[in-house]
Amino acid sequence: MLPAEIELPLLKRLTSAGEDIGELKSCIDAINQALLTAFNKGTPIDTSITGRAHLVDKLLQSIWEQKCSPDCGAALIAVGGYGRGELHPSSDIDLLFLVEESLQQESEQQISAFITLLWDIGLNIGHSVRTPEMCATEAANDITVTTALMESRLLAGSESLYTEMQAATGPDKVWPPDAFFQAKLEEQQRRHKKYDDTAHNLEPNIKGGPGGLRDIQMIQWVARRKFGVTSLDELVERGILTEAEFRSLELGKKHLWRIRFMLHTITGREEDRLLFDLQQKLAAAFEHRDNEANLAVEQFMQKYYRTIARLQRLNEILLQYFEESILNADEKREITVLNRRFHIVNGYIGAVDSQIFSHRPLALLEIFLLITQHSTIRGIRASTIRLIHEHLHLIDRRFRNDPKAIKLFLQIVSQSHGVYRVLRSMNRYGLLPAYIPAFTNIVGRMQYDLFHVYTVDTHTLFLIRNMRRLTVPELNSEFPLASEIMASIEQQESLILAALFHDIAKGRGGDHSELGAVDALHFCRAHALPEQQAHLISWLVKNHLVMSMTAQRKDIEDPDVIRNFAKLVMTPEHLKHLYLLTLCDMRATNPKRWNGWKDTLLKQLYRHTLRELNNPQSEADDYSELQKKQTQAREQLESQDQEAVTQLWMQFSTDYFQHHSVHEMAWHADVILSTPEQDYPQVRIQCEMKPGASEILIVDIDHDNLFAIITSIIDQCSLNVVQAR
């Protein structure tokens, strides 16, 4: 509850306000200001959130007494988040007006007057009017109604109506625990899918995203439906939650509550998205400061991402426990023994006994190798996830230097199936950063720009997912060239390791490519990889941005550009690896920014460079190539005067012929020679010349600022210029 020095003056004002709209508005403003002041002075967030609900209770009860008679045949019920006794600054106040079957007209008028006054004083209310029977019908048809009613509280009015409604919507009447759990589980899966099954997005949703407040509420709802518990600490008493997990849940929830409180305060509305332009304001509100390595906003967001990662892991553990105790309680357990340490129980791999990791720490890696080798395994048992988390401290320098551990890890990244899935789980459960300590720095690390939409660790794992998709025959049509190249790579684990290290040095200051290359080389040597393979992986990390920048920022039709890039790449094998790493990296950075144009640029750069590496061209070869292109273009210009074509081309530099295709050369010449000067300017467009882009040709007599005028008009049309000559 709120401290008396805050609560009592506010209650006194509420009592004296009566029905005066101005006074009631002033009371609400006073409540908001008092709670904000208390928050800024360090009042516990749960006190502020429950305190607001308590004060709103008193406000509504006071108005109800004035507007509704004791025998009006209705009850005022708090539902949803407000029913839980939780209210953030701009949260909706969800109300249910529970009424008798035959409500008198006078009672209807009283309820209507009550609602009108709430609107007049500016409360954000959501309300419904139902009988107990209607509640039962709606609850049976819609699980969200059932969920809201489960958390209801009687505020004022008929207690008998409320008791009748509770009885009509209980688990013995609608949505028994097994059906309720299955429906809520599917609901959560759909909700997570909306956010790409990751909470590590650029603008995460603090309420609905994976690991957010809704995931905590999901645990509470299922536990309440099955066990009748009203708080998470009761799950500790039942042995479902450990003390450490309960503390972690509470700390995580309170941290998210503090952020949500400030989100509502800053925006003045019910805003649950950590929007890009709000993140800096929130970082300042939580007193983060820029330092040499990280911006304040990056520090703030990393703490947020790490918090929801812990909450997501706990959500997974508890929901799996509920699945075993609710859905599979009456089913016979199907057990498949894998070895002396692990078995599969109803599709989930688990430790045979609770001492397995303390007796054999290497089993911490072995379990993930087994998952890659058995595609039928759905996941890890909740009890074993707990054991993994409790034994992470065993992964120390001695463990990492153990040849058996090294062999296990290399086996994991060398598997033909399940590599992405397992590495993602290893990261979620803390094992990947424990085994590769440098990875810890990028867990939950965001980059404050609009280009990178995922945290660095999530981006890294999505890169690996993209790589693994290239090995699936059914998906070869997505990127035929890349799939063909991937099939020719003998040691695909080199690409996986390069992916793991390509951004590992972000946030440490300096050039992350250079620093990451050093880390990668050290790791490869510590893992006894052949020196040639180690240098390839390190080289890939060091140069992982070069191909993308060359393709997008340089003229890849310029022979000098290709020669210089080929000198850097050195061999066709290096080129193959770099092309695959670059393609998958670009697609994992921001899927919405990937397009056919970028795909075409990368393929062109790859093919030009491969040709240069296999058959280096001299200047004489370049001249011969230009003559060949002109001859082919003339074949498409048979209707034009060939002497006129020659005279036109004599006005163009060698660069023109190097940078344009045969079709473009013929198209340009045909338009220019077919159009009299008095018909200038001419604007032509072709949409099919280059995938993902349209090509515009503008022919006009040259004059000052012509190019600037053209590009300005294109920009005003919100068109993206990817190349201009």
Q: Is the model's pLDDT at 300 over the cut of 80?
A: yes
- pLDDT over 90, % of the chain: 65
Higher pLDDT, 40 or 497: 497
Cis peptide before 361 (omega within 30 of 0): no
d(CA 268, CA 89): 8
Average pLDDT over residues 515-531: 96
Q: Is the model's pLDDT at 14 over the cut of 90?
A: no
Q: Is the model's pLDDT at 688 over the cut of 80?
A: no
Cβ pair 575, 606 in contact under 8 A: yes
Average pLDDT over residues 416-423: 95
The radius of gyration of the chain's CA atoms, rounded to the nearest angstrom, is 33
Higher pLDDT, 652 or 543: 543
Identify the weakest region by mean pLDDT among 165-169, 191-195, 518-522.
191-195
Average pLDDT over residues 39-50: 93
d(CA 12, CA 25): 15
Average pLDDT over residues 695-718: 84
Average pLDDT over residues 658-681: 86
Q: Is the model's pLDDT at 522 over the cut of 80?
A: yes
Q: Which residues contact 74 (CB under 8 A, 6 or more apart)?
A: 68, 97, 98, 99, 100, 103, 107, 111, 157, 158, 161
d(CA 382, CA 349): 10
Average pLDDT over residues 46-65: 93
pTM comes to 0.80
C-alpha distances out from residue 133 to 140, 148, 458, 644, Å: 11, 16, 48, 89
Q: Is the model's pLDDT at 329 over the cut of 70?
A: no
Which pLDDT score, from 0 to 100, does residue 720 have?
75
Give the phi and the psi of residue 695 in degrees, each rounded to 5.
Answer: -110, 130
Give the tens place of pLDDT for each residue, 82-125.
999 999 999 999 999 999 988 788 888 999 999 999 999 999 99
Neighbouring-strand partners of residue 682: 699
Give the phi and the psi of residue 447 in degrees, each rounded to 5.
Answer: -120, 125
Give the tens place of pLDDT for each residue, 373-389.
999 999 999 999 999 99
Average pLDDT over residues 677-690: 79
**How distant is the alpha carbon of residue 252 from its chain centre?**
18
- Confidence tier at 617 by pLDDT (50, 70, 90): low
Give the tens place of pLDDT for each residue, 204-254.
999 999 999 999 999 999 999 988 888 888 999 988 889 999 999 999 999
